[in-house]
Structure 1
Amino acid sequence: MTELFPAILDAPAWNSQTDEVLRCQAVIQETHDVKTFVFTAPEPRRFLFRPGQFMTLVLPIGGEEVNRCYTVSSSPSRPYALSITVKRVPGGLVSNWLHDTLRENMDVRVLGPMGDFTCDRSEARRFLFLSAGSGVTPMMSMSRYLLDTQSGADIAFVHSARGPADLIFRRELEAMELGNAGFRTSFICERDAPFEKWPGYRGRLGTENLAQITPDFLEREVYVCGPAPYMAAARALLERSGFDMRRYHEESFDFGALLEQEPEIADTTQALADTAYTVTFTKSRREIACPSGTPVLSAARAAGMRLPASCAKGMCGTCKCKLVSGEVEMEHQGGIRQREIDQGMILLCCAKPRADLVVER
């Protein structure tokens, strides 16, 4: 046993360009429909990331590789393991696969970490973390980090759920409050659980209960994460209250919503006449025109194609595919490894043609 500790303490940092496999070490049942999956590297590695960032999992489902992004719920202050916390979504392809299939000692491929939703570089000393549902995960990573590093931050942690049985990390959050004077946890539940009458705040997040929970919320740095309707409501609440929105930060778990924000190509008639290239999709048996300054994914969407994609920003790797021939200009944000680029892979969401293209998709 004594030989183990120096090997771990001297472990090199995890490098997503060369280290792409993680091994599941534990599966923790958090609630009736939420599990935490704890990973380590096959060989000792230290995970360096910013609290609140996400990883992209590359999973073999139904004979295909499926990419999905999940926020890291663990803290970089505990660098020898990494965890994600996943809610089972009815009909959800990946969440159901993870809950039903992923077990201890199984390996998964990953990419990352990535993302800018993090508090580690903030100069603020008072924080308000607002979350609902699975949006609790980046808030847990940030809270664990701020407490582990003895930052001295004052944290008001407000989490909303349907009922007491849906409160993710409930016991840990209550313990964090007991052990840290500057950390306060408040839960808001819409209803009672079958065997527990909820004694705390009821309903949904609103101006009245937020002012009761955190009277000085207008003076704090605010981070919000959860379903899109929740974040929209929180944002509107703060704006109505006169909050300085320069101190507002939000993250959405719905990467599909990000895709919907990607602008469609409007009138490209003149551009097509002068600078368009042909993009041929071998598996879809489609051929489209794409202007030189337009991402292939945007042109494909404008042509009515529905290709696999999530973030539409070059981060998650969902739209990764093989470029059979042609040349592209590509500025990504970490969603593809350099060796994959060297092997001819591209991200359709940020690849702009410089010639006619043939794509294996």
Structure 2
Amino acid sequence: MMTLSPSSAPTIWQDTEMLECVSVVPETPGTASFSFRSPSGAQFAYDPGQFLTLEIPAPDQPGGVVHRTYTISSSPSRPRSITITAKAQNDSIGTRWMLDNLKPGMRIKAIGPAGLFTNVDSRAKKFLFLSAGSGITPMMSMTTCMWDEGLDLDVVFINCAKRPSEIIFRQRLEQMASRSSGLDLKFVVEEPDLYRPWTGYQGFFNQLMLGLMAPDYLEREVYCCGPDLFMTAVREALVGLGFDMDNYHQESFGAPVETVAEQPALDDVIPDDDSKAEIIFSTSGVTAKVVETDTVLAAARSVGLNIPSGCNLGVCGTCKVKKTEGEVHMVHNGGISEDDIGAGYILACCSNPIGKIAVEV
């Protein structure tokens, strides 16, 4: 096997050198992939899932620049260029400038690569990638890297978007999946595009969808990226299904971290078998002593009370009752509206009491 001498080994790009844009590829409305090369010919070394911080002109901002962080959507297995994929939000400054102004041949300063959100050191054989919107970018990098390295893929890849036309990388992923039975794609949209039927999953991601898409989710290592509300919903779904959260990894596409010390603590409420709770059924004058992992519905039945119920999955809404005191941990699957929740209603079948609560039953 031929080896390179130190003098002929490729130089690795350092962020003291500016990047030169080589292409701008529209992906979906308001979203584009920007590819860069090193003017000196240096190659790029990074872990799939890491990010770059770009220094972007912004004449109206203090100092005339803004710094924005973007996950690298390309794979380190293709080291001669590096790509970030950016989606403009309503209040975007940096991304909007890039979409309107950045062209091939222009140079831009970048800092990095950096970040801890990567599966490069994972020993898992089976993965579950969950993303929403542009949170798909690190999943694309990790999947492409495994693909290029010829690994035996076992990936359930779930992406959520507003509508089908806003699914980033859809065609590229479908092409990869058509050549590997180990890449299982699932897309979820909130609504179809006008005059274009959608036959896949529709609505907001929930426990039921997870069970249908990845029945063996308990055996998989999970990587999640997207808006905070999306990631909270994912965590609640996994916790409610008994997933070992030591195998869960997440990164907000709005606030990626560089060091372990910067990782935010997840303060999710997790019902505990060892924590006592009390449910006062105020209409009946009955009190149940339970643990936090008991549902309000199960507790009612244990003391001889009947709350009408149907699916027991948080879907049908039959078991809706009014909570007048205390807090519950509720993970539903669409059976109750935000207005009802705001008014104090809960679904008894999927609500766990945290401490002492009272309900009108």
Say yes or no: TM over 0.5.
Answer: yes
Map 1:305-344 → 2, pairs under 5 A: none
Residue in 2 that maps onto 1:13: 12
SS of the aligned residue for 1:136 comes to: helix
SS of the aligned residue for 1:121 comes to: coil
Structure 1 residues 256 and 72: CA distance shift in structure 2, 3 A: closer
Larger-Rg structure: 2
Map 1:257-296 → 2, pairs under 5 A: none
Residue in 1 that maps onto 2:90: 90
SS of the aligned residue for 1:131 comes to: strand
Residue in 2 that maps onto 1:52: 49
**Alpha-carbon separation, structure 2, partners of 1:31 and 1:157:** 19
SS of the aligned residue for 2:69 comes to: strand
Q: Deviations over 1:150-179 (max 9, x none)?
A: 121301100000111110001001111001
The offset of 1:35, in angstroms, is 0.4
SS of the aligned residue for 1:109 comes to: strand
Task: Answer whether contact 2:127 2:155 (CA < 8 A) is retained.
Answer: yes
**Alpha-carbon separation, structure 2, partners of 1:88 and 1:257:** 21
Per the normalisation by structure 2, the TM-score is 0.67
Specify every segment of 5 or more residues in structure 2 that has no aligned partner in the other structure, as ranges: 1-7, 266-361
Task: Answer whether contact 2:225 2:251 (CA < 8 A) is retained.
Answer: yes
Residue in 2 that maps onto 1:172: 172
Residue in 2 that maps onto 1:130: 130
Task: Answer whether contact 2:116 2:257 (CA < 8 A) is retained.
Answer: no
Kindly indicate whether residue 31 of structure 2 is the aligned counterpart of residue 27 of structure 1: no
**Alpha-carbon separation, structure 1, partners of 2:253 and 2:184:** 24
The offset of 1:10, in angstroms, is 4.8
Q: 2:58 aligns with which of 56, 61, 71?
A: 61
**Alpha-carbon separation, structure 2, partners of 1:41 and 1:72:** 15
Residue in 2 that maps onto 1:229: 229
Note the aligned Cα RMSD (angstroms): 2.0
Per the normalisation by structure 1, the TM-score is 0.67
The offset of 1:257, in angstroms, is 11
- Letter of the structure 2 residue corresponding to residue 27 of structure 1: V
> What is the identity percentage for the equivalent residue pairs of Structure 1 and Structure 2?
40
**Alpha-carbon separation, structure 2, partners of 1:85 and 1:238:** 28
**Alpha-carbon separation, structure 1, partners of 2:145 and 2:256:** 28
The offset of 1:25, in angstroms, is 0.3
The offset of 1:74, in angstroms, is 0.2
Task: Answer whether contact 1:163 1:198 (CA < 8 A) is retained.
Answer: no
Specify every segment of 5 or more residues in structure 1 that has no aligned partner in the other structure, as ranges: 1-8, 263-361
- Letter of the structure 2 residue corresponding to residue 108 of structure 1: I
**Alpha-carbon separation, structure 1, partners of 2:57 and 2:77:** 31
Task: Answer whether contact 1:128 1:222 (CA < 8 A) is retained.
Answer: yes
Residue in 2 that maps onto 1:158: 158
SS of the aligned residue for 1:255 comes to: coil
Residue in 2 that maps onto 1:344: none
The offset of 1:205, in angstroms, is 1.1
Task: Answer whether contact 1:164 1:196 (CA < 8 A) is retained.
Answer: no
How many corresponding residue pairs? 252
The offset of 1:210, in angstroms, is 1.2
**Alpha-carbon separation, structure 2, partners of 1:153 and 1:182:** 5
Residue in 1 that maps onto 2:285: none
SS of the aligned residue for 2:86 comes to: strand
Map 1:35-46 → 2, pairs under 5 A: 35-46=32-43
